[in-house]
Chains A and B, each alone.
Chain A
């Protein structure tokens, strides 16, 4: 076999490997985003139940409850972009956080079994969202690294892959969950 043919084959194999690794990184990002989306939906499903259970008691926080309901209906609209999903998710997180703090002012509500159960479920979903978000950020970082680093950056330019944005992690997520604050 002539040497030039061997060199050609080696180059072709390297190109295929580079291409495949880029595609698999892109798909990993998309897969994980789908999971982020699923947990966000799971949380949206809890909102009507939460609003119904606390609405009767929370006279002063009516606007807060209305805001969450509005955000939920916006998020449920078809054809919203990924960026919007991320933005709405962050807004819901902060609104739900405020509601949970407000619950502390109503002893009846705090003792309500239904509300307590909702609190547990919300805690769990928040934790799942945080996990999904961290996984997404790692996948995006791997993908972005591949796009910027030699030699895959040449391939990325050729097939027109561009950098993706990571989720901004809310500062409060980095802190430990304080159980005393939640239940006392």
Chain B
């Protein structure tokens, strides 16, 4: 597998002609968005001022107007950027993935299925709406791997029956075949209780966490500080989380720079990395040739595809074949 600097080279050398072409499109698009944005705001204000002042008095009206303005604007923005986004994905993201491994399949519109997300048990809230894109699937070194952007949401209704949505998870969701056999369920979550309340109270809170299995205290201080482990089986959790895997997961979490949720269920390892934004989307207000922008695509892809190597999932020294 290519490393990050080789991929960056690939981005700037092989993709350069395409990027230049896209750059022209991007600048035109940016101009168009600004113009349309101004006209849209102007028309909106015009309509708003046309409505009799008597009905404008209440706060509810303003909230509704703002909501409509943002909602409509969002639709308009999506419509304007659609062609550019599609082209970017086909011409930049797809070749980047092929450069990492030719046999990986990429689809810009699909995502990891809802049942896989639910199976992971990483988030206990019921998923009412799941969307996502940029689905990558295939084998790395004989190990099955799949990942995509995901956005899971929950529906709320207040006493008046008004609907609202809250985010359960937004970020990168990775599923890979695990190299050891196990039957139980083990979930590793970022440790918020222990880092906020300290060892004693935090530890007590963790053990009282409803809706999760038994708390497993791990014998690696650094790991224990970053994560909290729940499992159906004390021994199996430690069989999966060997000293070396704990170290590798720590390294991975540090590298990702975002909260990482991990679970071992079925025959797979599930990882949810909370970015709180849609990944692999083309930049519109910054140049695609900017190093920071390029690195975001390259390092995120490398992180996701690299887990097989990073966590040594291809190391089949156990009886699981």
Contact = CB atoms under 8 A, between A and B. Distances in A.
Contacts of B238: 130-132, 134-135
A87 B1 CA distance: 45
A137 B242 CA distance: 15
A137 B219 contact: yes
A153 interface: no
Contacts of A127: 180, 239, 242, 318
A33 B219 CA distance: 17
A128 interface: yes
A35 B315 contact: no
Most chain B CB atoms below 10 A, which of A127, A137, A142: A127
Contact of A138 (B219, B242, B244, B318): B219
A138 B241 CA distance: 14
A174 B243 contact: yes
B234 A135 contact: yes
Interface string B236-263: 1111001110000000000000000000
Contacts of B318: 120, 123-124, 127
B317 A179 contact: yes
B234 to A, nearest CB: 5
Interface in B199-220: 217, 219
Contacts of B315: 179
B64 to A, nearest CB: 54
Nearest to A139: B234
Given A131-B238, A137-B219, A120 B317 contact: yes
A172 to B, nearest CB: 11
Given A127-B239, A127-B318, A130-B238, 9 more contacts: A117-B319, A124-B318, A127-B242, A131-B238, A134-B219, A135-B237, A135-B238, A137-B219, A177-B244
Interface of A: 32, 35, 117, 120-121, 123-124, 127-128, 130-132, 134-135, 137-139, 142, 173-174, 176-177, 179, 182
